[in-house]
Chains A and B, each alone.
Chain A
Amino acid sequence: MNLITEAAKALRDIGKGMAVVSRAAEKGKHTNLYPFEMPEIPPVSCQSLALIIEADGTDRCVSCLACEKVCPSQVITIERTRNPEGKGFVLERFDIDLVNCMYCAACVEACPVSAIVTIQDFELSTYDLQTLKADKAFLDEQGRRAKQWYSPKLGVEYRNEQGEIQVAPLEQQPGGEAELLKQADKESDN
């Protein structure tokens, strides 16, 4: 008798499992049809690095070497010379070895002027690793192609149709919640 009840229980549990499996079809498809359909990547996501050029064509980077110093993988190489006329430096060379970079975004955090930023372009696959030894032209191009980018100082930014750089609204910024709450508090105080 015991055997029969046990067998019945086992069969019932197997049946339950089979029901779970067949009911799962209701949950729909969860596959992303990449490359036919691009995945939605949040703006803070660090998929690649880029250098930002202002709308008037000047580099944001002031060659302060902060990013080079902070990089854990030591893949940033910057060469600069003193600006012969006026203050500051002239950027001679700005290389990032994107093969050995580990996309930790420490350089982005260190940059005082948000010149180096994280972008969401993850399609870095290539047949030739040499193409990933990025120089300044490469990084500028990445920055020009990016729809939006992120840096902790300025938050999420994007280029509007006129080519001007704008900061995204507060709702899309990390930390925006706290800011909005603060504003709401102030309004309720008034």
Chain B
Amino acid sequence: MSIPAALMTGPTVLEPVVGKTDEMIVNLGPQHPATHGVLQIVLGVDGERVTRAVPHIGFLHRNHEKIEESRSYAQVIPYLDRMDYVSGLQNELPYCLAVEDLAGLEVPERAKYIRTAMFEFNRIISHLVWVGTYMLDLGAITPFLYAFRDREMALDIIERTTGGRMLPNYFTFGGVRRDVHPKFWQDLLDFLDYFEKVVPEYETLTVDAPVFQARSVGVGLLSQELAVNHGISGPNLRASGVAHDLRKDQPYDAYPELDFSVITRDEGDVWARSKVRMDEIYQSIDLIRQCAELAPRSGPYLARGRVKIEAGEQRYRAAEISRGQLGVYIHSDGGTGPYRSKHRSPSFVNLQIIPDLFIGQKFSDVIAILGSIDIVLGEVDR
């Protein structure tokens, strides 16, 4: 098979031992079980050792930002769900925050709590998908089915309120689109009671399991410096010892009223990233409980108002979604829709460390590291 030379340009750090072994070019993706979508990585391997890694993206490019320019502000929201389809609800929030800021809409107290609870609930769902698919990458099938079993229950709760499972189109400017299901809070608490007992099982099968530890401890070390220089965010950054969490640093919605601390780990390896995500599941459970306690049970859920934005106004708002910092930049020309809308998507940025982490590693570790970064290709390509 011949691969165009242009596809192979990239840093070659390790030279193959000349005369003894040959470098073999392996095309990992775009149709490969472990790339979580359509990511292509051209790998040079010398035996099992990776000598070069050149990621290629864009197979799923759908022109989101350009489409959004020709839509009205409200029409953009359903498109946002499709960026990171694993945590669809979370994608809507930064955009809503930015438009609310620009249009001067005040979100009612109740809507804030509903949004925050939904936001954290979506984080649990997203991390469940990560647990499952990651263990599948490492060769264990069972946790995958457990994770999706629990995710189904969680999605049912979301569906009962929003009408959608993965693409809910629920948050809107000034609150949420419709009131929650009568049993919403009760459902949430019941699910959490059940789920809290199940998470230790996941831990037994993943971060506490000896074979998993053998595969993950010390693998794919991401130093604090490298992480900060590349603009990594989310659990990947926090696993490298940087206590950066937008929920604390730039709190939005009901986060200022909630009591929590930023989870960090110093190791920076695959295991630390996994452990941080596991701890975040516990944290989300706690945060949703707090929301359920503090949220007013009646009152307006939506501050209706005209979205009228002056020409030249612009705004950048970001939120800490399950993969990191999702930012939205909106520039208005006074029309009904954004003149320019730009998304800073966490997976896209996190993907950039691939060559740095891959080179010199084993072929199996490539899969382990790629899975631990937790990318969603829909958001990388947009």
Give chain A's interface residues, CB within 8 Å of chain B: 9-10, 13-14, 16-17, 20-21, 24, 27, 30, 41-42, 44-46, 70-72, 102-106, 109, 118, 150, 152, 171, 173-178, 180-182
Q: Given A20-B204, A46-B163, A171-B182: A72 and B75 within 8 A (CB)?
A: yes
Does B263 sit at the interface, judged by CB under 8 A?
no
Q: How far is the CA of A151 from the CA of B184 in the complex (A)?
A: 19
B211 partner residues in chain A, CB cutoff 8 A: 14
Interface size class on chain B is 35 or more
Name the residue on A nearest B153 (C-beta). A30
Interface pair A14/B75, CB less than 8 Å apart: no
Q: Given A17-B204, A106-B78, A177-B297: A152 and B178 within 8 A (CB)?
A: yes
Name the residue on B nearest A19 (C-beta). B204
Does B181 sit at the interface, judged by CB under 8 A?
yes
Does B161 sit at the interface, judged by CB under 8 A?
yes
Give chain B's interface residues, CB within 8 Å of chain A: 71, 74-79, 82, 142, 146, 149, 152, 156, 159-164, 167, 169, 177-184, 201, 204-205, 208-211, 297-299, 301
Cβ of B125 to closest chain A Cβ, rounded Å: 16
Interface pair A181/B163, CB less than 8 Å apart: no
B76 partner residues in chain A, CB cutoff 8 A: 72
Cβ of A87 to closest chain B Cβ, rounded Å: 29
Q: How far is the CA of A13 from the CA of B200 in the complex (A)?
A: 13
Cβ of B140 to closest chain A Cβ, rounded Å: 9
A109 partner residues in chain B, CB cutoff 8 A: 177
Q: How far is the CA of A27 from the CA of B209 in the complex (A)?
A: 22
Name the residue on B nearest A44 (C-beta). B163
Q: How far is the CA of A47 from the CA of B77 in the complex (A)?
A: 18
A176 partner residues in chain B, CB cutoff 8 A: 182
Interface pair B159/A17, CB less than 8 Å apart: no
A21 partner residues in chain B, CB cutoff 8 A: 142, 205
Interface pair B78/A177, CB less than 8 Å apart: no
Interface pair B159/A45, CB less than 8 Å apart: yes
B209 partner residues in chain A, CB cutoff 8 A: 13-14, 17
Interface pair B142/A118, CB less than 8 Å apart: no
Name the residue on B nearest A150 (C-beta). B163
Q: How far is the CA of A74 from the CA of B161 in the complex (A)?
A: 26
**Can you list 7 residue pairs at the A/B interface with Cβ under 8 Å?**
A13-B208, A13-B209, A17-B209, A20-B205, A44-B163, A109-B177, A150-B163
Q: Given A14-B211, A17-B204, A178-B297: A24 and B146 within 8 A (CB)?
A: yes
Interface pair B297/A181, CB less than 8 Å apart: yes
B180 partner residues in chain A, CB cutoff 8 A: 174-175, 177
A178 partner residues in chain B, CB cutoff 8 A: 179, 297-299
Q: How far is the CA of A18 from the CA of B80 in the complex (A)?
A: 41
Cβ of B118 to closest chain A Cβ, rounded Å: 14
Interface pair A44/B161, CB less than 8 Å apart: yes
A71 partner residues in chain B, CB cutoff 8 A: 75
